[in-house]
Structure 1
Amino acid sequence: MEKTIIGLEQAAQTLKLLGDKTRLTILGLVKNGECCVCEFVEVLQMSQPSVSQHLRKLRDAGLVKEQRRGQWIFYSLNTAHETYPIIRQVLDQIPGQQKKLKALAEAGLRIQCD
């Protein structure tokens, strides 16, 4: 299997985005699935506009994908992005965020954008 070399600029941009705790948490939350903006708002305890600003940066860089369902947008990790190997390594080294999603589900807030 041939190893792909990531461009220096692309790697630097990705690492800069990962250097923000909120964006790193968002990527951890979508590591194994998808989340709606309302779920990020609950987990991060931030306003919807603030969360959307972080998501826009991740989306514009291609690190997350979005899928519209009705009026709601769900986000997932873009595993096809050329810097995904960097992202995966970083996410493997930090505490998992799945407990936060489980707590949301137990509180009946897992998806409250119906």
Structure 2
Amino acid sequence: MDIQFLEKQLKAVSDANRLTLLSCLKSGETCVCDLVDVIGLSQPAVSQQLKKLEEAGIVTARKVGTWKHYRIVEEQSPAIRAIIDQLETKSPNQCTTCQS
């Protein structure tokens, strides 16, 4: 594995907010609007955190209307998979804003 890419991934999971987001995404694809309530940050701040995880290849997104839905990428490096596996799964409440 490319050491710079692994460094980017490890930096992406070295933040408590991003780890919390990953624990929510363990239960499946989730709209960013649902993650805002869990993290307690503004929607733009949550989106910035998710972007860092996406740039590191840990999560992927698909657009549904004006909202993005995120999920964990299935193929992960062993180091990142081990970290994700250690996280307790959280189930965010489903909002009615995005009409998933």
Q: Where do 1:1-114 residues align within 5 Å?
A: 6-81=1-76, 83=77, 85-98=78-91, 101=92, 104=93, 110-113=94-97, 114=99
CA distance in 2, matches of 1:88, 1:31: 11
Structure 1 vs Structure 2: percent identity of aligned residues? 36
SS of 1:73's equivalent in the other structure is: strand
Q: Distance in 1 between matches of 2:65 and 2:87?
A: 33
Q: CA deviation digits over 1:1-26, x for unaligned, max 9?
A: xxxxx222222111111110111111
Q: Give how far 1:73 is off.
A: 1.0
> Cα distance, 1:47 vs. partner?
0.5
1:92 shift after superposition: 1.8
The runs of 4+ residues in structure 1 deviating greater than 6 Å are none
User: Does the Cα contact within 8 Å between 1:39 and 1:112 map onto a contact in 2?
Assistant: no
* Bigger Rg, which one: 1
Uncovered stretches (5+) of structure 2, i.e. residues with no partner:
none
Look up the SS of the partner of 1:75 in the other structure.
Answer: strand
Higher relative contact order (CA 8 A, sep 6+): 2
**8 A contact 1:65–1:77 mirrored in 2:** yes
5+ long unaligned stretches in structure 1: 1-5, 105-109
